A and B are shown apart, each in its own frame.
Chain A
Amino acid sequence: MKAEVIIPILIPMLAGALCLTCWRWRLVQRWISVLSGAGLLVASLVLLHKVQHDGIQVAYMGSWPAPYGITLVADLLSAIMVVVTGVIGLAVAVYSLATMTRSHEAFGYYPLLHLMLAGVTGAFLTGDIFNLYVWFEILLIASFGLMILGGERAQMEGAIKYVTLNLISSAMFLTAVGLLYGYAGTLNMADLAVKLNGPEQSGLVTVIAMLFLVAFGIKAAAFPLFFWLPASYHTPPVAISAVFAGLLTKVGVYALYRVFSLIFVQDTDFTHGTVLMAMGIFTMVTGVLGAAAQFEVRRILSFHIISQIGYMLVGLALFTPLAVAGGVFYIFHHIIVKTNLFLVSGVMYRYHGSYDLSRLGGLYRSAPWLAALFMVPAMSLAGLPPLSGFFAKFTVIKAGVLEGHWLMVAMALIVGLLTLYSMVKIWAEAFWKGLPDEAKPLRGQQDPHLYVLYGPIVVLALITLTIGFGAEWFVQLAMATAEQLLSPAGYIEAVLGGSQ
């Protein structure tokens, strides 16, 4: 039994349970929440260290060997994702100390947040495809609760779309699992990889692969399945939007990376080269065009999530070591940057009481530090050197050039420019231009909790800078991850080797 693999799931789960028992003592809940965020970060760093030095870690639940029992597997991709979850969990726990109102806390914000984090880490660590479904449902139902916290009209409308689309995606996931079990007779991912990649597979496998693609594509908000995202992500309180924006769609992307590198590699010309590539390119373009048309900060940011998902899908679609490494780099860079941008938008709201760019202005004069802190994630998202986004985009595009996929390269470059355009739009409207007359007066400076809000933003910006300036180390890590993903023999050996 490898405790390192289980602890990152146990910590948020226990924290959620403890918060439930301390329902009336909100101060206790806050402390539990911050401590568990820190604990999760430490545990995930231990796990990453262990995986880097001792190889893939496997834990058999109930000591049932694979493929009979449920296995938890931590390879490099899982470990990296868990580390990023820890970073975001801690940052959001601290940020919510100052932004969550009394009523949000009274209706169970902290328990829901931690149960959602438990679902996310569980989904990253599981090695069984039905178990993946169960973790997805855990994180979904917690996120449903978070989505409607506060109960405003916009939240209800957003939640109905969010809930419906996610339930349809879950039903599709379950259908695909059923067909897969009927075909292969197993649900352990490593075992499936062995059984499905023998000689002579029927076309049914590709059909099942496409079902999984649609199910995970809805959760990842890929083209043409993303319309629930811009309709719902900007409605909840900003700390919740931030954690949704950073983590939840990336769980879908992670699931795509997992099944399309391990299990469904029979017909890569069709599944990766055609379908995923088309999906990725369209996701990039439609997302950024949506962002360019919007005039509300959080809506712009929501559309950018979609556009960046496209880059990750393109990385998977090219399916070369460099491209997959670029995609992995993109995932962890983007989670941090996007969460940070949402957190910054929350501080902007603190100053002028609006997310609408036409009602914002003059922030450069009133909050110069916020302006500097906004520039770091914004320019990183747009891909300006030497920030983290540049290396992520550069790796993906370089892989495209090496493969000679010029259409994708051209689209990626154009989308990068348009991203820059919409980030500059936020900059010019919110920070640069004067404050419009009808806008509310400044109220941020009287806010005693402002330093609590700046804390996580500064730390996340520093992480972005670290990834940018220490890119060598992170690119190496992403390359090692890609190697591991593209040669699944090691994964299969680690999971099934213990039982034979």
Chain B
Amino acid sequence: MENLFAFVVGGLYATALFMMLRRSVVKLVIGLIILSNAANLLIFTSGGLVRGAPPLIPEGLYQPVGAIADPLPQALILTAIVISFGVLAFAVVLIHRAYEVIGADDVNEMKSTDS
């Protein structure tokens, strides 16, 4: 299972980089979306994958019995997903607005502030 996830994460990073290196701003944002999801999956994988074992402690005990899934990576990913969703929503609005103001989708047209 970990091997499969490793390939998926690597593939997502590669796709994200490829998309971000295109000249179109829309593709740039798609690349960013994929990149943030790749990072989330990486946390999930490196936190350890356990299938069908909720982190519950039986009544009357202080420690879980047997193997459990680590709840912390899931909490981290949940936070990260919410944050990246908000930020990317902003990015989508930004490129829409930028397209209206600049009139182009090409990053080569956006060099007037470079020095």
Contact = CB atoms under 8 A, between A and B. Distances in A.
Interface of A: 130, 133-134, 137, 140-141, 144-145, 148, 151-154, 156-161, 163-164, 167-168, 170-172, 174-175, 177-179, 181-183, 187, 227, 230-232, 234-235, 290, 293-294, 299
Contact of B91 (A134, A163, A181): A163
Contacts of B98: 156-157, 159-160
14 contacts: A137-B83, A151-B101, A154-B113, A156-B94, A157-B112, A159-B98, A167-B36, A168-B20, A171-B38, A177-B43, A178-B42, A187-B76, A231-B115, A235-B113
Interface string B81-115: 00110111011001101100110000100111111
B4 to A, nearest CB: 16
A152 B94 CA distance: 12
Contacts of A133: 80
A181 B72 contact: yes
The 4 A-B pairs of least Cβ separation, nearest first, read: A182-B46, A178-B43, A174-B39, A156-B98
B28 interface: yes
A170 B35 CA distance: 10
B64 interface: no
A18 B88 CA distance: 26
Interface residues of B, number: 41
Nearest to A174: B39
Nearest to A299: B115
Given A177-B43, A182-B47, A163 B83 contact: no
Given A156-B98, A157-B102, A181-B76, A141 B39 contact: no
A174 B40 contact: yes
Interface of B: 20, 25, 28, 32, 35-36, 38-40, 42-48, 72-73, 76, 79-80, 83-84, 86-88, 90-91, 94-95, 97-98, 101-102, 107, 110-115
Nearest to A152: B101
Contacts of A151: 97, 101
A168 B32 contact: yes
B94 A160 contact: yes
Given A174-B43, A178-B39, A141 B102 contact: no
A148 B102 CA distance: 14
A232 B115 CA distance: 10
B63 to A, nearest CB: 14
B25 to A, nearest CB: 7
B46 A181 contact: yes
A174 B101 contact: no
B43 A181 contact: yes
Contacts of A170: 36, 84, 87
Contact of A167 (B32, B72, B79, B110): B32
B113 A140 contact: no
B75 to A, nearest CB: 9
Contacts of B83: 134, 137
Given A174-B36, A178-B42, A182-B47, A144 B90 contact: yes
Given A159-B94, A160-B98, A178 B46 contact: yes
Contact of A156 (B38, B42, B97, B115): B97
A12 B40 CA distance: 30
Contacts of B88: 167
Nearest to B107: A160
A130 B36 contact: no
A182 B44 CA distance: 9
A174 B39 CA distance: 6
A182 B48 contact: yes
